[in-house]
Amino acid sequence: MHAFRRFLPEGFSVNPRHLILAGGAAGISAAFNTPLAGIVFAIEELGRRFEQKTNGVVITAIVLSGLVSISLQGNYTYFGQLAVGIIDKKIIIPVIVCGLVCGVLGGVFSRTLIESSGSLTGRVGRFRNLHPLWWTGFCGLMVALLGAVSAGSAHGSGYLFTREMLNGDIAETWQYAPIKYLATIFTYLSGVPGGIFAPSLAIGAGIGNDLLPLFGNLHSNTAIYALCMAGFLAAVTQAPLTSFIIVMEMIDGHEMVTSLMAVAMIASIISKIFSKPLYATLAETQMSRISAVKST
């Protein structure tokens, strides 16, 4: 959206920050067919200084992206309509455990991405600055090795493996979450990140798979996966409303509204101990770089 500003008619005045805001929200809406999550994401995460005049730009972008997505793929639920079983007071313990675990892991994950987006110090930083192509090649090699030891599950957004886990068609080994965790970090470190939202959901599902033995048969596997998906995404983005809404819309799990809200809030609070808000910090960094380039 920021790049397309050059094609706007002369005299059409719009703040570059509003375009970035609209583009981020529209991307969420179109990628996952979750327009409500796109709106909340714009307000909660990117729009911490949200202005009323931004509403038209944001909502127009979200509506148009949603219409284009539906026209190409039809109306769909990202992970399908999944049965989460009966949700009762027994869900309290899984909510607390998933919130704490995902909060810590997501906070560290977010901190790693923020730190790596700046100037690294020491030998690693010097090597990346002096030999950027070799650095990118090293990161690519690490992702390839992770893919080799995981039979390819480290590659891509993790959608297929996550959907199979949610459907009960596959029981991933405990290594899936840490392998996907590391693969996403190395992809980001390479300088050509392939996305954070979808991989975060996949990592969350993997964490849920690893936590299943702790809860026995108290709740369905799908419910635990959903809790960890919302929890880890909330910890990474520190946007709990967006996280619980996007998971709820993606799995059509309206019966889990309260538990998803609770786990997202817990994880987001824990994450703040380790990291600043990811997208707000990265947006400020990007705008600073653009301003520095313009000034030179």
- With contact defined as beta carbons under 8 Å apart, do 165 and 201 qualify? no
Shared domain check, 111 and 7 = no
pLDDT above 90: percentage of residues in the chain = 17
Cα–chain-centroid distance for residue 140?
Answer: 21
Given a cut of 60, whether residue 115 has pLDDT beyond it is yes
pLDDT of 53: 47
- With contact defined as beta carbons under 8 Å apart, do 295 and 131 qualify? no
**In terms of Cα–Cα distance, which of 210, 259, 269 is closest to 93?**
259
Domain final residue, candidates 75, 101, 135: 75
pTM over 0.85: no
Instruction: Give the number of domains in the chain.
Output: 2
**Could you tell me the residue range of the domain that residue 114 belongs to?**
89-289
Shared domain check, 102 and 32 = no
pLDDT of 227: 92
Given a cut of 60, whether residue 76 has pLDDT beyond it is no
- The tens digit of pLDDT for each residue in 13-61 reads 667 777 777 888 888 778 777 777 777 777 766 555 544 445 556 666 7
CA 238 – CA 91 distance, rounded (Å): 22
Question: Is 84 domain-assigned?
Answer: no
Shared domain check, 266 and 135 = yes
- The tens digit of pLDDT for each residue in 210-252 reads 898 888 776 677 888 889 999 999 999 888 888 888 888 777 6
pLDDT-derived band of residue 3, with 50, 70 and 90 as boundaries? confident
Q: What CATH number does residue 103 fall under?
A: 1.10.3080.10
